[in-house]
Structures are given as structure tokens and as C-alpha cells.
Structure 1
Amino acid sequence: MGMKYTKELLEEAAANSTSVAGILRFLGLRQAGGTQAHIGRMLKKLEADTSHFTQRGRPSHETSTDGGTDPRPEASRRKPDQA
């Protein structure tokens, strides 16, 4: 049977972390996507304070360095005449 994540435990872990990955480290859990997703859902459900978390990860598809919406370099974008 899995571990029971109480509101108190997750709030303490969140207070001592700056990311969901940090919470997993705090709790001694494996860094796995499913575990991160589960803890993230639990934090949201319990309305735990994560306002101090830093935003890191993949760049948004809505931003790019050239001001467009495609973050890929110009040379790697497929042109309409390239079938």
C-alpha cells in the first residue's frame, strides 16, 4: 500500500522546497513523472501554498527569442513549399 500524504506533511514539504521535485527529495521519493504529477495534484487539491516555487522547466510554446510563437530556430522550421 502507498504512503498517505497528509495535508500537514505536504505543507511542511512545500514550505521547505521550491518545486515539486524538491518535495519529492524532501520526502525521500523517486524522481518519477507519475509521482511528481500525483504530488502536484495533491498540492492543488489541498490548496497548499506553492507561491514561492520557482518556475523552471521547458520553455513555453508561446514564447521565443525572436518574438514569434515558434521557439525553434528559423533554420529548423518547415517551410510551406517543403513537402
Structure 2
Amino acid sequence: MDEIDLTKEIRFNPYRIRRFGLSSTQEAKVLLYLERQGSTPRKVLSRLFDLRLVERLAEIGLVVCRNGQVEMTPEGRETLQRCMGEDHGRGAA
């Protein structure tokens, strides 16, 4: 599985992500990673992100943790799309 450099791909607008229920751009990056990579072992996510971010996303229903794997829910996909907005192709949201 190729690693994604999330710092160069998309910059999230912190005001926009807060409008859609996320508390940090890092949470949006977790969702972006899961959208692109699919179901991901928790151990892999722990090397890339603080697991408290993943736990918070699970608490609000945007990801689910099953059998050591983390997956994005349909609500998580919808939230990510809203956070990315129409500017997605230009590298800013």
C-alpha cells in the first residue's frame, strides 16, 4: 500500500471543516486518507495520525473500527465531500 503525502495534496480550509462538524484539519486528513486507501489497519493509522483523532471520528459516526481495521462510513464520505467543496481539484477546500 503506497503512503499518501497528505501535506502536499489538499489543503483544507479550517473554517469550512468546522462548519461540517470536524474540529481540525487533521481529522479531515484522516478521512481523506481512508477515502483513498479504503479499510486500513489501526496500526498503520497510528503511524500516520494521533489515534485520538480516529477515536473522535468513530464517536461522531464518521468512521467505524472493526477487527483492528478502520473504515469510513457513508456519513464520513459525505462530510469529507462537503469539506472539500467545489475547490477540490484546485488543491484548496
- Which of the pair is proportionally richer in strand? 2
What TM-score comes out, normalization by structure 1 length? 0.28
Larger radius of gyration: 1
- Which of the pair is proportionally richer in helix? 2
What TM-score comes out, normalization by structure 2 length? 0.26
**Higher relative contact order, structure no. (Cα contacts within 8 Å, ≥ 6 residues apart):** 2
